[in-house]
Structure 1
Amino acid sequence: MEENENLNIEEKEFLIFFIEKTGMFMSQIDKNNIVSFLTGYEIDKQNKNIITQKISEIVSRKYNIEYRNTGWLGQISRLSTELGLDWVATFKQIIQEVLKE
């Protein structure tokens, strides 16, 4: 993904709905279920991981947390430790930032 590539309207609408109604998609809202669901969504849409790449880009740029072999979810984990939040709260915060771009 090019660094300046933005999400399209459909992707933004999906993220808004997913964040507001996460419990509709999964019975237990946790890191593993969110990662699995988002991975499935990206595979279904064949969009070359644009959402997760955007997450990684924002965490790298804004919080100076580099992408490592643990991927974007590792970036969220390190950021959540830094912010003193749980993983899900940090993920939702970053998604709000993704939507602003």
Structure 2
Amino acid sequence: MGNSEMRAVKHKVATYRFSLAAVCTGVVVSFLTLAPSAAQARDYPYCIKGEYYESGTGDCSFDTYQQCLATASGRRAYCDVNPFYRFPEDGPTAYPDMRRNFRR
């Protein structure tokens, strides 16, 4: 094998490695961008649940209990606290809307 042939083979190998690395990086970035993460489910404190939601936690995309109630209004749905959300640890004022619903 001549010197020019050896350079051509090395160039092809380097091109192949670069292409493979680019494809792998693209796949990883696509996966991380498109795949829902567990943190997304924990961003909001309230979830809507009902027959339209197959997952056990429902749709947890509500900042306030009132937002959730407005969405659930007129549907076979109800609102609940997101089981994965960490409320601030400041006693009974942490979620006053839910406290009001459980008074006797």
Report the TM-score when normalising by structure 1: 0.24
- Structure showing greater radius of gyration is 2
Higher RCO structure, 1 or 2 (CA under 8 Å, sep 6+): 1
Report the TM-score when normalising by structure 2: 0.24
